[in-house]
Structure 1
Amino acid sequence: MGHDRIRGNLDLLLLSILSAGPAHGYHVITALKARSEGEFDLAEGTVYPALHGLEAGGLVDSDWQAVEGRRRRVYRLSDAGARELADQTAQWRRFSVAVDSVIGGLA
């Protein structure tokens, strides 16, 4: 899938991954790829800056933890992030229904 389509929805995708529980960046990347059945195979250089932006915006919290014997930054959804996820999910669903209504009959 084109990065232009993902770019406008990356925050929604990352917040959704983190809604399953705290995770370090590499886990976020692999979960995104797995849950999208390989469609969203994003580079670290795309995901980490987005996570940092979500943290700067108060939607994600993070701290350093030992994970699998390594020190990693672990991200978790904040209360504001959970509210933002609910809002963006509702907006996405309305948009998706509208697009499907327009192109649904096309072969």
Structure 2
Amino acid sequence: MLSMASCETNPNFMNGVPELLILRLLQHEEMYGYEIVQAIRGRSEAVITIGEGVVYPVLHALENDRALKSRRITVNGRSRIYYSVTPAGARRLADLAQNWTNLAAAIQTMLKGGKYAEAIP
């Protein structure tokens, strides 16, 4: 998780992005893996594309951390695993969202100029 108080000098800005987006999508609606892939692409107007090779490991890790729960459902003869957010996952989402909001605000300050920075032309 990216922390604004972190002493890390070169944070990987993509750390936590798939986790954040997946938790946000599942916050109000149960979804299965491929549906999540399509929702991220569609809702970001294809600016963000995260493949199944990223989504499934994140889903499994979140489930192992008890941030998600799953249930198997058969739809049109196909068995699918649907995921939903647990209370622990909701807390994790809130923390990730706050960190990304702070990061985005800091980047906007650098781009536009602000209290401590001149705008970047």
Q: Do they superpose with TM above 0.5?
A: yes
Deviations 1:17-64 (A, max 9, x none): 111311011111111111111022222111101110010111000011
Does 2:23 match 1:15? Answer: yes
Which has more radius of gyration?
Answer: 2
Gaps of 5+ in 1: none
TM-score, normalisation: structure 1: 0.87
Deviations 1:57-100 (A, max 9, x none): 11000011113431101100011101111111111111110111
Aligned-residue sequence identity (percent) comes to: 34
1:90 to 79, 86, 98: 98
Distance change in 2, residues 1:12/1:25 (3 Å): same
Does 2:54 match 1:40? Answer: no
Does 2:120 match 1:106? Answer: yes
Match of 1:52 in 2: 60
| Structural RMSD (CA) | 1.5
Divergent runs of 4+, >4 A: none
TM-score, normalisation: structure 2: 0.78
Match of 2:8 in 1: none
